[in-house]
Structure 1
């Protein structure tokens, strides 16, 4: 066997061993970190849910209240999606809906909208967006308190015709130099309330016609 052939074989064996070791290291690293990553994701998700759902409205774990709902165009959800039911003493007291506003200045704005059984908003938070830093990003709770103004409002408070930003004749403020972003969020929240009103029994897991709070 020529020296060249032996050299090629040694190189191939070396590469093979290197690949096996690398795969093993990756596998071990994944097994050691997968659980931590999963726990961190759950913690982050639970934190977001808790920001739109006051603790006094539920005695269940919000993540345990996950439910799959059919697609809803009003919420920007074309296919089945996950929502969450808050329960108190076994009865659904509120829901948290994931909502997508497709008409932001730079694309989709993903929201969480909490709605109590009586139709009032318990909170709204922005999960993700690509709006302009310093302008449209004021929809984030950590950047400004603008998003807090939805707390306690309902489909009739303000009246339906006033569920819009001020430049459109509504009651909600915009940001200097940024109207499209708050307009998209206000519209998405309004549609969430309309969806809730039209699907209240399903969302609250109650019989049709049950209007109890």
Structure 2
């Protein structure tokens, strides 16, 4: 190999190395930024959940209990995913459950909710975590838009045939929205299913601390 060819070869090798180095560096930066962003999003969502938990269980009640977190799956919760469950214990006995649940049949897709209830089926509070419902119509499920979701407070679900937690048009106590039936019906049905799940918790989980 001649001197000129050798120089050309070294130049090509050097350029290839530089390009490879910056490609790897760029990839590392992208991965790092993605990692940081995911962590920030995760932390933000956890903070949002804490805020929602404080909304569904008033502090004067929450402060009386010890909390233990579980991951559960059940057809009662609307899909096959794992759902967060917080149990509140007093004197080592579970009294209250806070459950993330899903209404899979919303008008614009799945609606994710948080339900708090005593294990006897009495609802403490409900909030919508996220949804894609139509602004001005279906979004009345959101506490920032209307107080509709607060109407479930103190209602009792005795069993699957209990009609209290249903829309009024089906014999229950919950109003639908003007111009919207599918969204409030989906949320109402999901809340009822979730409370039935909560009543079954002692049979589903070992509640020993």
From the superposition, tell whether residues 166 and 80 of structure 1 become closer, same or farther in structure 2 (CA, over 3 Å): same
C-alpha distance after superposition, 1:28-81 (max 9, x if no partner) = 65676676555434322222222212222334898x521133x31122142553
- 1:209 maps to what in 2? none
Alpha-carbon shift at residue 126 of structure 1 (Å): 0.9
**Which residue of the other structure, out of 55, 73, 77, is the alignment partner of 1:75?**
77
- 2:171 maps to what in 1? 169
C-alpha distance after superposition, 1:89-138 (max 9, x if no partner) = 54323001121111111221111110124421111111122211111011
Q: Does the 8 Å CA contact 2:155/2:165 hold for their aligned counterparts?
A: no
Gaps of 5+ in 2: none
Please identify the structure whose Cα radius of gyration is greater. Answer: 2
- For the pair 1:65 / 2:81, whether they are aligned, the reply is no
**Count of matched residue pairs:** 202
Q: Does the 8 Å CA contact 2:119/2:199 hold for their aligned counterparts?
A: no
Whole-Å separation in 1 of the counterparts to 2:97 and 2:206: 7
From the superposition, tell whether residues 105 and 38 of structure 1 become closer, same or farther in structure 2 (CA, over 3 Å): closer
Alpha-carbon shift at residue 191 of structure 1 (Å): 1.4
From the superposition, tell whether residues 29 and 81 of structure 1 become closer, same or farther in structure 2 (CA, over 3 Å): closer
In the TM superposition, 1:26-41 aligns within 5 A as 26=30, 29=33, 36-41=40-45
The 10-residue stretch of structure 1 (160-169 or 175-184) with the greater mean CA deviation from structure 2: 160-169
The 10-residue stretch of structure 1 (184-193 or 3-12) with the greater mean CA deviation from structure 2: 3-12
Whole-Å separation in 1 of the counterparts to 2:36 and 2:165: 49
Residue aligned with 2:110, SS: strand
Q: CA RMSD in A?
A: 3.1
- 2:113 maps to what in 1? 111
Gaps of 5+ in 1: 207-213
TM-score by length of 1: 0.78
Whole-Å separation in 1 of the counterparts to 2:180 and 2:168: 12
Whole-Å separation in 2 of the counterparts to 1:81 and 1:190: 16
Residue aligned with 2:104, SS: strand
TM-score by length of 2: 0.79
From the superposition, tell whether residues 15 and 41 of structure 1 become closer, same or farther in structure 2 (CA, over 3 Å): same
Q: Does the 8 Å CA contact 1:85/1:204 hold for their aligned counterparts?
A: no
Alpha-carbon shift at residue 88 of structure 1 (Å): 3.4
- For the pair 1:135 / 2:137, whether they are aligned, the reply is yes
C-alpha distance after superposition, 1:149-206 (max 9, x if no partner) = 11111115xx923432123333211111111100111111111222233444546927
In the TM superposition, 1:35-54 aligns within 5 A as 36-54=40-58
From the superposition, tell whether residues 194 and 36 of structure 1 become closer, same or farther in structure 2 (CA, over 3 Å): closer
